[in-house]
Amino acid sequence: MSRQTGPKAGKPEPLATPMEDTETIDFEIIELFFFAYRDFVSDPDAILEKSGFGRAHHRVVHFVNRNPGMTVADLLDTLKITKQSLARVLKQLIDSGYIRQVAGPEDRRQRKLYPTKSGRELALALAEPQSRRIERAFEGASAPVREGVKAFLGGMRDRKKAD
């Protein structure tokens, strides 16, 4: 009869000590990202919830407003999501009058996306509280500090997934 070891041998022992930083892991920075992201999306989440929308809708509205005339293929590439995921979100935004889909002038199969006036207003309403939060965080910061933060955030992007 063999004796089992590991988690299946019984209840694993609870660990009462917190994880500590290592030479390669900075848990404080990781936690700051968790909290910053939670708070950064909280205001737009509350606005979106009123329309029955979520963060995927926010991303689509943001990028279509930043790049009017972008194709569905461009948006898929930017967001790194499946056609199926985008189709559902895009249909809701089109049906709600926030985005217009127009056939391409040369290739009628190409679908170009444009914000409507209400789509632009929604994008601004979502961006304003985020912009205020960013400005509060940068209060008193010099231009080089701002550029350093931009470089840091750019460096966080997955190089294979970046534009």
* pTM of the shown model: 0.82
- Which residue carries 């205020």 as its tokens? 132
Round to whole Å and give the CA distance between 9 and 147.
Answer: 53
Please say whether the beta carbons of 47 and 66 come within 8 A: no
In sequence order, what are the beta bridge partners of 71?
112
Q: pLDDT tens digits, residue range 119-148?
A: 999 999 999 999 999 999 999 999 999 999
pLDDT tens for each residue of the chain, 163 residues long = 555 555 566 899 999 998 998 889 999 999 999 999 999 999 999 999 998 999 999 999 999 999 999 999 999 999 999 999 999 999 999 999 999 999 877 777 788 999 999 999 999 999 999 999 999 999 999 999 999 999 999 999 887 654 4
Top-tier CATH class for 24-132? mainly alpha
Select from 100, 113, 94, 93 the least CA-distant residue to 51.
93
Domain locations in the chain as residue ranges: 24-132
